[in-house]
Structure 1
């Protein structure tokens, strides 16, 4: 897995993921548990959807 999520994108994903999970834990709707996905992709620096679509927000180029 090569990183395809840049720094700003990662920070946004982590914050959104944490916000959704906090909402879910505090009694929010069941769908708020979807926050696990942006949190995981932000922490890993790799997004499977970006790989499928050929998107890369990470400035590093891998050979």
Structure 2
């Protein structure tokens, strides 16, 4: 697997994944099991993307946000 998640994309995935796990924990405490499971799965998926630096969706769409290939720092042609 080649890395295709980096920089700001990786940070956002980590923060959002953590936040979704907090929402899942809150949902469990309030008895909303479906919401808890849904947000936990999404949060875990985002955290796995952040840790492994690989996203299957990015791969299929040809998106690469690692440092050397980011379009945010230079004009993509």
TM-score tier after normalising by the smaller chain length: 0.7 to 0.9
Q: Which residue of 2 aligns with 1:15?
A: 15
Number of equivalenced pairs: 61
Is the radius of gyration larger for structure 1 or structure 2? 2
Q: Deviations over 1:11-58 (max 9, x none)?
A: 100000000011101226232111111111011111011111110011
When the two chains are superposed, the root-mean-square deviation of aligned CA atoms in Å is 1.5
Distance between the aligned counterparts of 2:17 and 2:67, measured in 1?
23
- Aligned mates of 1:57, 1:25 — CA distance in 2: 30
Partners in 2 of 1:41 and 1:55 — Cα distance? 14
* Higher share in helix: 2
Unaligned runs of 5+ in 2: 29-34, 70-77
Confirm or deny that 1:32 pairs with 2:39: yes
